[in-house]
C-alpha cells in the first residue's frame, strides 16, 4: 500500500461546499472576493453552506430569527463557565467542553429527524459567540451580557463582549473576517467533523471533535502563536526582525502563520485580511504592529519564499478589535462552525463510513511467553 503522510493530496470525498481551484477559494460557486467586496452578511453564508444556495428574504429572516431565539445561555451553562474560569485552562478547552455540555443539556440531542438536527445546528451556531463573550467577561470578574434581538449575529457578539454597540465600520470589518473563515476545503477540523458524522453520531459530538482539532497550533491555534511571535519581537531591545527570524529558521523552528499545504503562491484570504489589518491598525493606533507584520512577511518571502496564510494577518486584525490573544482561535471557531455543520449535513446525506487503512510497520512473528515462565528462564519479557 502506498502511504501518503498526512493524507497529502489524497482525495477522500466529494463536496459542494467550498473549492480551492488555481489559488481561488469559493463557497458553493461564489468567489470569496465577491462575497467580501459585496458585503454579504455572515448569516447569508451560514444559509449558503447549510443549504447550498443563497436564501430568499423570507428564508434569511427566518434564519436570523432562529439564531436570535437560540443565542441565550441557560443558567446551568453560565454556571459551568464560571467553574472553568481558572488559570492555565486554555479558552479553546472551555469552548470544547461547553459545546459538549450543550448536548448534555439538550433533551433532544439524540433525535435525528431533519427538524431536530437543524435546531441542534442553529443552537450551536447561535450559542458559540455567547459562550465566548460570557467567558471573556466572567474571567475578568464581569457579568455576562445577554444578546439582543435587534442586532445582527456579528453586532451581537461585539455588543456582548463590551456592553456597547460597535460602530458600523467595525461591524463590517468583523463580518468580513467571519465570511473569510467560514469554510476551507477538507482541513483538519472539518475532516474531523466529517469522520465523526460518518459514524452517525450526534451533531454535538461532531462539533466537539472539530473544536478539539482546531485547537492545535498547526491548525487554528496558529493565529495565537503569530501574535506571541510579534509580541516577542516588539518587546525585544533592540527590535531585530531579521535576527529573530534567522535564529528561528536556523533552529528549524516553525514560523507560525506561514506556508500552506494547498496554496503555493498566495492564500486568497490573506489580501483581504492584510487590507483590514492596515486600516484597523490606523483606526486604533496599532500602526507599529502592522508595520512589524509587513517586515516579517517581506523577510520570510525574500529569504525562504514563505507566504503568509490566513492566520498571519488575522492575528493583527483580532488584536485591533481589542480581543485577548488567547481568544483568537475561538473567533476562528465561531465562524468555521458554519462550515463544519454544512459538512456534517453533507456527510450525513452521503451516508458512508470514513474508514481509511494504515500500513503496519511494527514487529512481526513474535511468540508469546507467559510472565511466570519468563521468570524461570531469566528472559526479558518485552
Q: Which of 90, 219, 260, 325 is catalytic?
A: 260
Report DSSP letters for 344-356, one per residue: HHHHHHHT-----
Exposure class string for 100-134: b at 16+ Cβ within 10 A, else e:
bbbbeebeebeeeeeebbebbbbbbbbbbbbbbbb
Active site residue 311: yes
Alpha helices in the chain (DSSP H): 32-37, 42-51, 57-69, 75-83, 91-105, 114-138, 153-162, 168-180, 188-198, 203-214, 222-235, 241-250, 270-283, 287-304, 310-320, 328-350, 371-377
CB 220 within 8 A of CB 189: yes
Q: 330: which residues sit within 8 A by CB, 6+ positions away?
A: 91, 92, 95, 132
C-alpha to C-alpha distance for 369 and 101, rounded to whole angstroms: 46
How many Å apart are CA 382 and CA 52, to the nearest integer? Answer: 55
Contact 194, 354 (CB under 8 A): yes
Residue from 267, 311, 319, 343 carrying the catalytic annotation: 311
Q: Whole-angstrom Cα distance, residue 314 to residue 95? A: 20
The three-class DSSP label of residue 145 is: coil
| Pairing verdict, β 18-21 and 30-31 | unpaired
What lies within 8 Å, CB to CB, of 227 at 6+ separation is 315, 316, 318, 319, 325, 328
Backbone angles phi, psi at 19, to 5 degrees: -140, 140
Instruction: Confirm whether 33 is a catalytic residue.
Output: no
Q: Is 203 helix (H, G, I), strand (E, B) or coil?
A: helix
**Nine-digit cell string for 71:** 443565542
- Which residue from 88, 85, 327 is spatially nearest to 221, judged by alpha carbons? 327
Active site residues: 260, 311
Amino acid at each position: 500500500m502506498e502511504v501518503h503522510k498526512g493524507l497529502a493530496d489524497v482525495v477522500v470525498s466529494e463536496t459542494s461546499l467550498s473549492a480551492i481551484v488555481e489559488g481561488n477559494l469559493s463557497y458553493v460557486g461564489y468567489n470569496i472576493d465577491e462575497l467580501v467586496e459585496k458585503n454579504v452578511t455572515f448569516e447569508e453564508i451560514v444559509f449558503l453552506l447549510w443549504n447550498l444556495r443563497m436564501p430568499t428574504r423570507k428564508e434569511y429572516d427566518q434564519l436570523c430569527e432562529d439564531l436570535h431565539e437560540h443565542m441565550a445561555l441557560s443558567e446551568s451553562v453560565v454556571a459551568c463557565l464560571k467553574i472553568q474560569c481558572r488559570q492555565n485552562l486554555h479558552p479553546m478547552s472551555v469552548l470544547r467542553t461547553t459545546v459538549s455540555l450543550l448536548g448534555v443539556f439538550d433533551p433532544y440531542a439524540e433525535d435525528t429527524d431533519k427538524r431536530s438536527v437543524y435546531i441542534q445546528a442553529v443552537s450551536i451556531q447561535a450559542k458559540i459567540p455567547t459562550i465566548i463573550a460570557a467567558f471573556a467577561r466572567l474571567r475578568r470578574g464581569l457579568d455576562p451580557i445577554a444578546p439582543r434581538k435587534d442586532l445582527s449575529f456579528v453586532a451581537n457578539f461585539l455588543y456582548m463582549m463590551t456592553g456597547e454597540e460597535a460602530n458600523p465600520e467595525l461591524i463590517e470589518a468583523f463580518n468580513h473576517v467571519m465570511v473569510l473563515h467560514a469554510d476551507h476545503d477538507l482541513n483538519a477540523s472539518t475532516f474531523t467533523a466529517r469522520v465523526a458524522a460518518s459514524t452517525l453520531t450526534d451533531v454535538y459530538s461532531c462539533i466537539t471533535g472539530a473544536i478539539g482539532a482546531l485547537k492545535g497550533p498547526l491548525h487554528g491555534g496558529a493565529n495565537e502563536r503569530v501574535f506571541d511571535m510579534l509580541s516577542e519581537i516588539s518587546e525585544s531591545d533592540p527590535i531585530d526582525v531579521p535576527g529573530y527570524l534567522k535564529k528561528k529558521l536556523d533552529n528549524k523552528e516553525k514560523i507560525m502563520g506561514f506556508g500552506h499545504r494547498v496554496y503555493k503562491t498566495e492564500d486568497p484570504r490573506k489580501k483581504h485580511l492584510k487590507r483590514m489589518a492596515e486600516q484597523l491598525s490606523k483606526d486604533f493606533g496599532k500602526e507599529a504592529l502592522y508595520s512589524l507584520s509587513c517586515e516579517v512577511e517581506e523577510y520570510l518571502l525574500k529569504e525562504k519564499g514563505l507566504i503568509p496564510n490566513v492566520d498571519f494577518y488575522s492575528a493583527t486584525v483580532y488584536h485591533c478589535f481589542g480581543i485577548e490573544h488567547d481568544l483568537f482561535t475561538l473567533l476562528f471557531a465561531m465562524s468555521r462552525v458554519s462550515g463544519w455543520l454544512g459538512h456534517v449535513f453533507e456527510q450525513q446525506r452521503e451516508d458512508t463510513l470514513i474508514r481509511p487503512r494504515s500500513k503496519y510497520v511494527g514487529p512481526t512473528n513474535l511468540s508469546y511467553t507467559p510472565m511466570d515462565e519468563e521468570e524461570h528462564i531469566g528472559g526479558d519479557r518485552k
